[in-house]
Amino acid sequence: MSLIAGIVGKQRDWHAAGNTRRVEDRIRRLDLLKEAVKARERQVMDALRIDLGKSEREAYMTEIGIVYEEIRFIRKRLRKWAKPVKVKTAMTHIGSGGYIVSEPYGTVLIVAPFNYPFQLALSPLVGAIAAGNTAVLKPSELTPRVAAVLREIVEAVFPPEYVATVEGGVEASKELLEQPFDYIFFTGSVPVGKVVMEAAAKRLVPVTLELGGKSPCIVHRDADVKLAAKRIVFGKFMNAGQTCIAPDYVYVHRDRKAALLEELRAAISAFYGPRPIESEELGKIVNERHFDRLVGLLGGAEAVIGGDYDRESLKIAPTVLDHADWSLPVMGEEIFGPLLPMLEYSELDEVIAEVNARPKPLALYMFTRDKAAENRVIESIPFGGGCVNDTLMHIATPYLPFGGVGSSGIGSYHGIYSFRTFSHQKSVLKQTVRFDFPFRYPSAKNGLAIL
Ligand code: NAD
């Protein structure tokens, strides 16, 4: 038996023996997990700096802090969520009662991507543990320092039959996908999401797929352009644009384009200084392959802000591309880097038609003070989640489910949605034994069966 098969087998036995059943034990593990992260904050920040050039501010705000908040929110409410929920029964079921038990799936696989390698590994894990599962965590091989710290943290809190990390690339992932998991939670690209779902289909394993795509950002005619520019620059260039919900491109009303460009320039310079490429606040591209891909996307586009890059440091300056259109390579794929193409429109209908002609986005942002325009966009464009007058912030509240739709993903998580994602809702009807209606049964005689 391979190492991976051995781990999964032990986890399944351990789960079947009822070791994750007690909610108090789950809460204790979540507390221990938080303590283990706290004790290694420095290591996590160092690893994030080496692997992705993340500043401490970003590392805390978008990785460590999010995990703390997810633990705090969930552990506070877990006792209540984990209780069976009584429900009404239909008139036809008079005398009976119904209840729903949140039952852990069993042993789950969590596959994480490189871009928020800490948070996107541990946040799903918090949900899996809260719901009473055992778990195998597969961090991204593109961020090996973070993967090593994750392993250390997991080993400090859990025995391997409860939670284990498996490091490695495609080969390790493939072997994992062949194991008898009860649930697979995958965060990553659309093509790999398809591979995961295909493997899961062979065993009828349920999946959550947190994928990507091109997320539009609409700046309407009445928008506060200065504020919009600040919030777009915040959302687009954080983590050097390697954010699944980053505004991929901007659709700006043609009357406001010149003003928006000016404000984008001002915001980039305020956040990253006169030489953004040298700024400590600007992250790096994860590897040469992605760097070369992004530099390739610059071809044919008109960089009116930024456009400079340095292969040695893997940095690309925050770049705004003017006069973009759908025929450009940069509009043909998820950018996942610090390039922001600008398209212009006259009527919202044009934007709605163009966006709806393409795969459903993971996120959508709209800057407007016009409620009718807001409603029009929210009602007409399907997307995973998003913000009005902001970017990214919908991901950071545990009250909103986070996930995609269509090819941007299947399922959602965060807060109670994580607990539900990792639980099977087991339905139980408890029938009365005080009476029994005869008319439900067939009768060999004419009339009703009287037993
Ligand atoms: P990726 O799909 O290349 O890799 C994700 C994970 O899958 C990694 O752990 C990797 O080792 C594994 N993997 C790679 N090839 C595999 C294969 N053939 N079979 C099984 N597993 C395999 O994604 P990435 O480059 O790490 O991350 C970027 C992508 O993830 C972007 O598309 C981004 O939009 C998306 N993403 C989505 C979310 C979300 O929450 N929806 C969050 C972050 C990133």
Answer positive or negative: Cα dihedral of 27, 29, 30, 35: positive
Domain with 306 in it: 216-395
Q: Which atom of ligand 1 is nearest to the CA of 140?
A: 9
Q: Which atom of ligand 1 is nearest to the CA of 138?
A: 9
Q: Ligand 1 within 6 A of 363 CB?
A: no
63 plus 128 within the same structural domain: yes
Q: Ligand 1 within 6 A of 112 CB?
A: yes
CATH number for position 125: 3.40.605.10
pLDDT at residue 439, rounded to an integer: 86
67 plus 167 within the same structural domain: yes
In a domain, 362, yes or no: yes
Q: Ligand 1 within 6 A of 188 CB?
A: yes
Going by C-beta distance under 8 Å and a sequence separation of 6 or more, which residues neighbour residue 22?
none
302 plus 363 within the same structural domain: yes
ipTM of the prediction greater than 0.90, yes or no? yes
82 plus 204 within the same structural domain: yes
Last residue within a domain, chosen from 373, 395, 417: 395
SS3 call for 109: strand
- Output the six-digit token pair for 335: 């950018």
pLDDT band for position 299 (cuts 50, 70, 90): confident
- Distance in Å, CA 137 to ligand 1 centroid: 14
pLDDT in tens, 200-239: 999 999 999 999 999 999 999 999 999 999 999 999 999 9
pLDDT band for position 283 (cuts 50, 70, 90): very high
263 plus 312 within the same structural domain: yes
The residue contributing the CA closest to ligand 1 atom 42 is 244
DSSP assignment letter at 324? -
In a domain, 194, yes or no: yes
Q: Rounded to whole angstroms, how far apart are CA atoms 280 and 57?
A: 10
Q: Ligand 1 within 6 A of 313 CB?
A: no
SS3 call for 446: coil
In a domain, 134, yes or no: yes
Q: Rounded to whole angstroms, how far apart are CA atoms 282 and 240?
A: 6
Q: Which atom of ligand 1 is nearest to the CA of 210?
A: 41
115 plus 233 within the same structural domain: no
Q: Ligand 1 within 6 A of 111 CB?
A: yes
In a domain, 368, yes or no: yes
User: DSSP readout, 39-71?
Assistant: TTHHHHHHHHHHHH---HHHHIIIIIHHHHHHH
In a domain, 252, yes or no: yes
- Region 335-342: mean pLDDT is 98
191 plus 236 within the same structural domain: no
Contact 268, 145 (CB under 8 A): no
Does 443 score more than 90 pLDDT? no
Q: Rounded to whole angstroms, how far apart are CA atoms 23 and 279?
A: 46
In a domain, 12, yes or no: yes
Q: Rounded to whole angstroms, how far apart are CA atoms 277 and 317?
A: 5
The residue contributing the CA closest to ligand 1 atom 6 is 113
pLDDT in tens, 152-172: 999 999 999 999 999 999 999
Does 400 score more than 90 pLDDT? yes
Q: Ligand 1 within 6 A of 208 CB?
A: no
112 plus 256 within the same structural domain: no
110 plus 170 within the same structural domain: yes
- Region 240-258: mean pLDDT is 98
CATH number for position 284: 3.40.309.10
In a domain, 450, yes or no: no
Going by C-beta distance under 8 Å and a sequence separation of 6 or more, which residues neighbour residue 14?
20, 134, 161, 162
Does 445 score more than 80 pLDDT? no
Does 449 score more than 80 pLDDT? no
Which residues are marked as active site? 210, 244
- Region 87-104: mean pLDDT is 94
Q: In the chain, how many domains are there?
A: 2
- Distance in Å, CA 188 to ligand 1 centroid: 2
Going by C-beta distance under 8 Å and a sequence separation of 6 or more, which residues neighbour residue 57?
281
pLDDT band for position 447 (cuts 50, 70, 90): low
Task: State percent of the chain over pLDDT 90.
Answer: 95
DSSP assignment letter at 402? B
Q: Ligand 1 within 6 A of 165 CB?
A: no
- Distance in Å, CA 215 to ligand 1 centroid: 17
Q: Ligand 1 within 6 A of 174 CB?
A: yes
- Identify which of 51, 136, 138, 140 to mutate to test ligand 1's pocket (most ligand atoms within 8 A of the CB): 140
Q: Which atom of ligand 1 is nearest to the CA of 114?
A: 26
Going by C-beta distance under 8 Å and a sequence separation of 6 or more, which residues neighbour residue 83?
none
- Region 247-275: mean pLDDT is 97
168 plus 200 within the same structural domain: yes
- Region 231-260: mean pLDDT is 98
Q: Rounded to whole angstroms, how far apart are CA atoms 76 and 68?
A: 12
378 plus 419 within the same structural domain: no
- Identify which of 109, 181, 189 to mutate to test ligand 1's pocket (most ligand atoms within 8 A of the CB): 189
- Region 398-422: mean pLDDT is 98
152 plus 100 within the same structural domain: yes
pLDDT in tens, 56-70: 999 999 999 999 999
